[in-house]
Amino acid sequence: MMLILFLILPAFISAQVTIRDTTIIWHTFDYNLNEDNTISWSTSTQYDTVSRTLQGKILENKYLKVTLLPEFGGRILSIIYKPTGHEELYQNSCGAPYGIGQNWFYYKWLMVYGGIFPTLPEPEHGKAWCLPWEFTILKETPDTVRCQMSWKDTVQLKGIDPNKWKYGKTNLQCNFILTLINGASALEANIELHNDSSASLNYEYWTCLTLAPGSEPGNPKCTQGAEIIIPASKLKITSYPDIEAQEAHISGERNIYTFSKLRYWKNWTNDGIAYVWDDSNKNYWGLINHDNEEGIIRLADNKITPGIKIWAWGYPQSQNIDPYKDPAQVHRPYVELWAGHSNEFFASAQFPPKSEKEWKEIYIPTIGLSNVNNANDEIVADFRIENQQLNKVIKLGFVTARPENEFDISIEITGQHPQVLKTQTVVPDPKNGNLITLGFPDNQSWTSGDSLKYRIIDKVSGCLLEDAIPLDTITTSIMDKQIAAADFQLYQNYPNPFNPSTVIKYSIKDQSVVSLKVFNTLGQEVKTLVKEVKAPGTYQVNFDAGSLPNGIYLYCLRTKNFIMTKKMILIK
């Protein structure tokens, strides 16, 4: 009997969710705090490394090991995705205070520890990042652990610039409520803000995520394969010329740039700040490490947190750093993504008197995805049509927060030419991810209203994720060859690849209404170049892609009796 218990006990424990105490040892350069939490530090001497002992909590189930650190900023310090054994968050290996006396931060200094943590009610990390938060267990069962880290703003630092740190002692209460469920591979955070006063308040709130997915535990860091996954096309960049130079300025918009090269951390030639500056109406963003296709995605209602701030240390400066030897070297190999109630730092949000604000953020590790173009609270997916030599291939990749449930998958064509291409029941693979690949139907002429559609349905919860790609711009290589035999022709653009403009040439046999349009690889129209009646002849048109991101684009010529599509590549 004892032998049987010994054999089944580990499996039984791993099938539950647990919470336990832990001790965390953090190495920092020695420093002392004054009573107001400003720092006593001299940068003119050599510093010794000291060990600081902190008390934390570990939440754990079969898929996640989550470390919380209430006493240093109420933070999620670590999320280890157990199927791969990799860390999703950044942590500082050796704390070196910086910005001391520069008035960059509320306490006139900062020391990055990493993780995920609320910042309020001032910008630039707020007041609570280095303070202890109250910790409470709200629910503890084998199926669910829910706990809360809480902090109330009763801080009023003397001698600060009131024009910069302008909100004062707000008495705002923040509750950071974290829930881990048995069998779930995602961590849920419910965030509550309470204004108990009779006055309306101005404030800032941001959730800071310091990310380094797919890292080895104990040494988390971003590599050159890190890509910022945000469904947006514009950035606001001010006073950071090195990163401004990586993007194209959008004419007529002050400080607004394209968002293309800066998606890749390796293109951040120096550190800097960028704000996402267009509303994508999507509910997800995050980071993917293409060196092992692991990532972490945040899911939330971004109408509540519309602000998205990006901070990244410069890629070249972040390599081969040994902070133990040089405490002044503060560049770190990670990317910060922030979710805010306002659109940028030092822009106020408003809080009505005697009111509350509540929202949910879900942090879900991903595996096997190179991008994301749709998500809900349970499913994260990437759906696309790829060109492979002369053929087109449909790819649907997804991960789920409920990897123990079965999912029904369907891929079909809807509209005037309906066709079921694939139906399948999938048991998710939490270690490698899930990818369905199938060939694109040949010899078809799609019309307006035809779409390629997928549906992913959780058979247990009923959760549904679906999306579609319009097909009226899609042709096959075989059809192109057949139609091209007539005296109509669409020529390859020149130059190709191009930056930022190219010439597209075409010929028509008869007078006809001519449509020449440019699409991205998802089939979304980005530009109409021609839409008018043309006499027989050969024409050429210039296409300027200065406001578009790098990538592959399709241009499609359509007349009454002719349709043809070709590919071009924009490289800036």
Q: What DSSP element (H or E) covers 257?
A: strand 256-258
CA distance 214 to 331: 20
Of the candidates 291, 239, 284, which has an alpha carbon nearest to the alpha carbon of residue 264?
291
322-361 burial code (b ≥16 CB/10 A, e <16): ebeeebeebebbbbbbbbbbbbbbeeebebeeeeebebeb
DSSP state of 62: S
CA distance 481 to 202: 64
CATH code 2.70.98.10 region(s) in the chain:
15-367
Instruction: Work out the angle at residue 257's Cα, subtended by the Cα atoms of residues 253 and 263, and round it to the nearest 5 degrees.
Output: 160
The predicted-structure confidence for 289-320, as pLDDT tens digits, reads as follows: 999 999 999 999 999 999 999 999 999 988 87
CA distance 399 to 371: 12
Domain 376-470 of CATH type 3.30.70.890? no
For 138, the token pair is: 């709200």
102: alpha, beta or left, given left = phi > 0 and alpha = psi -120 to 50? alpha
Pair type for strands 307-312 and 201-203: unpaired
The CATH number of the structural domain formed by 477-570 is 2.60.40.1930
User: What's the pLDDT at 561?
Assistant: 74
For residue 275, list its beta bridge partners: 236, 309
In this structure, which amino acid lies at residue 525? E
Per-residue CA distances from 364 to 84, 288, 289, 297, 379 (Å): 14, 12, 14, 5, 9
The predicted-structure confidence for 149-169, as pLDDT tens digits, reads as follows: 999 999 999 888 888 999 999
Alpha helices in 198-254 (DSSP H): 241-244
Alpha helices in 192-255 (DSSP H): 241-244
Binned average pLDDT, 10 residues per bin, the chain of 572 residues: 47 76 93 90 68 96 98 98 98 88 91 96 95 98 98 92 92 98 98 96 97 95 95 96 96 95 96 91 94 97 95 90 74 95 96 97 97 96 84 93 97 89 95 94 72 96 95 55 56 88 89 89 87 88 91 87 85 82
User: What's the pLDDT at 261?
Assistant: 96
Q: What is the pTM of this model?
A: 0.82
Q: What DSSP element (H or E) covers 525?
A: strand 525-534
User: What's the pLDDT at 475?
Assistant: 53
CA distance 245 to 367: 32
CA distance 280 to 235: 12
Cβ–Cβ < 8 Å for 83, 399:
no
Of the candidates 406, 337, 400, which has an alpha carbon nearest to the alpha carbon of residue 368?
400
CATH code 2.60.40.1930 region(s) in the chain:
477-570
**Helix, strand, coil % in the chain, rounded to nearest 5:** 5, 50, 45
Listing from the earlier edge strand, what are the strands of the sheet with 374-375?
374-375, 379-388, 391-400, 434-439
DSSP state of 243: H
Per-residue CA distances from 370 to 30, 63, 384, 387 (Å): 42, 21, 11, 16
Number of helices (H) and strands (E) in the chain: give both, helices first.
3, 39
User: What's the pLDDT at 14?
Assistant: 57
CA distance 70 to 56: 7
For 165, the token pair is: 């740190």
Q: How many residues does the chain have?
A: 572
CA distance 421 to 498: 36
Class of the CATH domain delimited by 15-367: mainly beta
Cβ–Cβ < 8 Å for 538, 507:
yes
Torsion of CA 114, 223, 96, 130, to 10 degrees: -10
Instruction: Tell me the average pLDDT of the chain.
Output: 90
DSSP notation for 346-366: T--EEE-TTEEEEEEEEEEEE
CA distance 412 to 326: 58
* Sole residue written with tokens 């009796």: 561
